[in-house]
Structure 1
Amino acid sequence: MDATRLVAAVSRRDLPLQATVNLSATNPSDNPVTARMVGLDWRLFLDDNETIAGNFNDPQDLPPGVPVGIPIGVELNLVQFFERSAQDLFELAAALSGQGGAPKNVSLKARPTVNTPIGPIQYPNEITIVSRQVGG
């Protein structure tokens, strides 16, 4: 997105972000059975502010030691979820679109639910899947 379109989108308060986060889940190779992940509650943070959350409910079989790709669709309007100045919003949008801007932190945290012989069990704590800087 060029700077003119970016400014116009911000002025319309319509700055959609659509992304697919491709996760890789691996059941430890020393686990003798295939694990079945039946849910994944996730939260996306932009510059340490939670912007959107969701859940993934497409059951996935995880054979021991074999990485399994899991695509998570993420959609949000940055203007609706961003509570900082217009300059910060512009810089974040530029950083996420690869157009430079000040560095921003992006992180994804999740809490999986796995099926067990006694029923579904949700992990007791969130897992940080990714945490990195974009832009700059």
Structure 2
Amino acid sequence: MKNSKIGFAIVVLLLIIVSFSCKQASDLKAFTEANYKLQGIEDLRLNGVDVTDKRTPFDFRTAEGDSLLSAFTTNNLNATTTLFLEVEMKEPEVTRSMQITNLEWQLLVDGKETLTGTVENPLDLQNGLNELPVSSTVTLAEVEGLQNYEGFSTLTTLIAKGKDVRDRLVFRIKPTIKTPVGNVTLPDYITVGQPAGS
């Protein structure tokens, strides 16, 4: 009798694990196929310096400029911000969630990889609007073994001129997702689109 109860408990436990794994696999597929749109960024700081409203070098205090220049030339920049990311699922009526354990990102300017980084703090995603406080490394991308100063220069020039740069930029992400069998990194980058009407 005791052995049959243990056997029944094991069967129930296995069924729970299998059903959870199937749900996780379904969620993983749904998030891979979802549309991602960046709705906004708040409180963008580089190495603690608020750069949200900065447009020219003259907008920085001397100490801020010196600190950022030093971090920039040594490729030792870190960004903190809050991202508002809209996740549009193909079946929005189904409640889904996903924990990202690591997030690689790329910023392309005129189709060329310019800035890259990694978010290492866990992020919980769900269908709908996600408010994500992130901390990330910021590194200049390399072209043939050399840092891509040209792309970064193009980006800063466009910003300094006060132009709308959204049509010249592409933001891409590659998440690593927590699953019952371990972390899984998506094989390809996902392009994050612009919100409707932007």
Give the TM-score normalised by structure 2.
0.43
Q: What is the aligned partner in structure 2 of residue 69 from structure 1?
A: 131
Higher fraction of strand: 1
- Cα pair 1:92 1:104 within 8 Å, conserved: no
Paired residue for 2:119, among 44, 47, 56? 56
- Cα pair 2:80 2:133 within 8 Å, conserved: no
Within 1, Cα distance between the matches of 2:106 and 2:131?
19
- Cα pair 1:45 1:107 within 8 Å, conserved: yes
Q: What is the aligned partner in structure 2 of residue 24 from structure 1?
A: 85
Point out where structure 2 has 5 or more consecutive residues left out of the alignment. 1-54, 60-68, 141-146
Give the TM-score normalised by structure 1.
0.58
Shift of 1:45: 1.2
Higher fraction of helix: 2
Tell me: CA distance 1:98–1:69, structure 2 relative to 1, closer, same or farther (3 Å). farther
Answering whether residue 149 of structure 2 is matched by residue 82 of structure 1, we say: yes
Within 2, Cα distance between the matches of 1:69 and 1:101?
24
Q: What is the aligned partner in structure 2 of residue 10 from structure 1?
A: none
Shift of 1:70: 2.2
Answering whether residue 182 of structure 2 is matched by residue 119 of structure 1, we say: yes
Answering whether residue 110 of structure 2 is matched by residue 47 of structure 1, we say: yes
Shift of 1:66: 4.0
Within 1, Cα distance between the matches of 2:179 and 2:99?
8
Bigger relative contact order, structure 1 or 2 (CA pairs below 8 A, ≥6 apart):
1
Tell me: CA distance 1:118–1:36, structure 2 relative to 1, closer, same or farther (3 Å). same
Q: What is the aligned partner in structure 1 of residue 173 from structure 2?
A: 110
Tell me: CA distance 1:116–1:76, structure 2 relative to 1, closer, same or farther (3 Å). closer
Query: Cα deviation per residue 1:26-51 (whole Å; 9 max; x = unaligned)?
Result: 38445555321111111111222212
CA RMSD of aligned residues (A): 4.0
Point out where structure 1 has 5 or more consecutive residues left out of the alignment. 7-13, 132-136
- Cα pair 1:39 1:56 within 8 Å, conserved: yes
